Amino acid sequence: MLYATIFHLLAGTVTGSVFKVRTLLILLGLVLIESVVLAIVHGSIAGLWAVANLIGIQVGYLAGIYVRGVLEQAGYLLPSVRTRRMP
């Protein structure tokens, strides 16, 4: 179960450094479904690990945003393009 938590943390980091919040919400929805199924099949201990996976994705997402910001400040990455709508 620890490997799954580490995998979810890394997936959150990649998601945070590349994608927007909508992708995080979709990812959290998928992991929530995974958590419910895991808790039903394997019991409460697996359910607790599944909650740790949800927390791991969120922490990883924040770490990815931080890494992206640091790399943009250092000049290694270009800031993401922000489209503006005409009024």
The reported pLDDT for the residue numbered 41 is 85
Query: The whole model's pTM is what?
Result: 0.70
Residue that is written with structure tokens 């799954």 in the block: 4
pLDDT band for position 84 (cuts 50, 70, 90)? low
The CA distances from residue 78 to 21, 39, 63, 69, 71, in Å, are: 19, 42, 18, 10, 9
Express each pLDDT in 4-49 by its tens digit.
778 878 888 888 878 777 777 888 888 888 888 888 888 778 778 8
Express each pLDDT in 61-80 by its tens digit.
888 888 888 888 887 767 66
| Residue 23 CB contacts under 8 Å (≥ 6 apart), including other chains | 15
The domain segmentation of the chain, as residue ranges, is 2-72
Q: Are 17 and 67 in contact (CB under 8 A)?
A: yes
Three-state DSSP class for residue 30: helix
